[in-house]
Amino acid sequence: MADNTSQAKARRAGNARTDSSNTLFSQDSGVLPLPLNGPIVASGAHHKNKQSPLSTCVLAGMVVKEFHIPAARSAALAAVAALALGVAAPAFAQQPPAASAQAQNRSSGATRYTDLGSDGSFVLEERGREALLQVEGSSEVMILEAVPGPRGDTFLKSKTGEVVIRKTEAGNMVSYISNKNGAPADAAGRVGSLDSPPLPQSLNEIRVKSAARLSKLAGHDVTIFGTPEFTSDEQWAADALANVEIGVQRANGLAGKAASKLTAVRIVRAKAASVSFKDGELVLGINPAEGYSGRVSSEAITNVLTASRNAG
């Protein structure tokens, strides 16, 4: 009987809390002691008067309290949380997407300037990181890149890196179009946006006239192909042919009959603007969806023709 009583007391002593050897959080070591003297309680069982499983994480200085939420109240809180998530999700989905780069470059209009260095004029339309420029007397619309400069100035550069316009911090314009040293340009008034090139006549008529002018510049017949592919974007095909004429004429002036090898011009749809010249055929890639950025400049056409002539 005495042995049985001693064993019972030992079991009760084993289940009792011992502050010195089984403290849940030890501030001295920062790590929970192992092993437990009491049993580990499985998930879902009552935790009263039982010890929780130990964790190896460092919880020194934290006070842990145990809360018991009735099942009915817990279900109600879960329902409220689900309802809140259901309302928040559509609201998040309805948020407008970030503006695209093309949308950021839109403009409400253009401005006509008088170039005091030549008494001519030009139309400039600023579109954020780029600008469109059309010089008086030319059908071409140039794309300029806006590059920050010193003292708050902004330089508008061509595709080849040449400075065409400088905008001062005060908003004044300096033109380098006809004067390499720069000349002031005064605003003469607002004009319509340079959204797309005009189409004064049918694309077929433009093709015939362009072929005649190119033939005269080359000294022999030049044929134009590919215009039927642009029945829904005729203005951009016509704009490309106008740039070909400007580029060929400039090439002849720079290198003397640089267009003598030109026998054909072909315009094709492409993902990006491109130009190549091989075996007498000038091939232009055009993407009407990109607007002026999707067609080849006259400067690029001049460069490819002069490079071919210099190569022999």
> How far apart are the C-alpha atoms of 142 and 157, rounded to whole Å?
10
Please indicate, yes or no, whether the overall pTM of this predicted structure exceeds 0.75. no
Tell me, what's the pLDDT at 255? 57
Alpha carbon 219 to its chain's center: 45
CATH T-level topology, domain 108-191: Lipocalin (2.40.128)
Nearest to 275 by CA among 244, 301, 249: 301
Q: Domain locations in the chain?
A: 2-93, 108-191, 203-310
Tell me, what's the pLDDT at 22? 43
Tell me, what's the pLDDT at 184? 95
Tens place of pLDDT per residue across the chain (312 aa): 445 444 444 444 444 444 444 444 344 444 445 554 555 444 444 544 444 444 444 444 444 444 455 555 555 545 544 444 444 444 434 444 444 444 445 556 899 999 998 889 999 999 889 999 999 999 899 999 999 999 899 999 998 889 999 999 999 999 999 888 999 999 999 998 998 888 989 999 999 999 999 999 999 999 999 999 999 999 999 999 999 999 999 998 865 677 888 999 999 999 999 999 999 999 999 999 999 999 999 999 999 998 877 665
> How far apart are the C-alpha atoms of 248 and 138, rounded to whole Å?
14
Tell me, what's the pLDDT at 39? 52
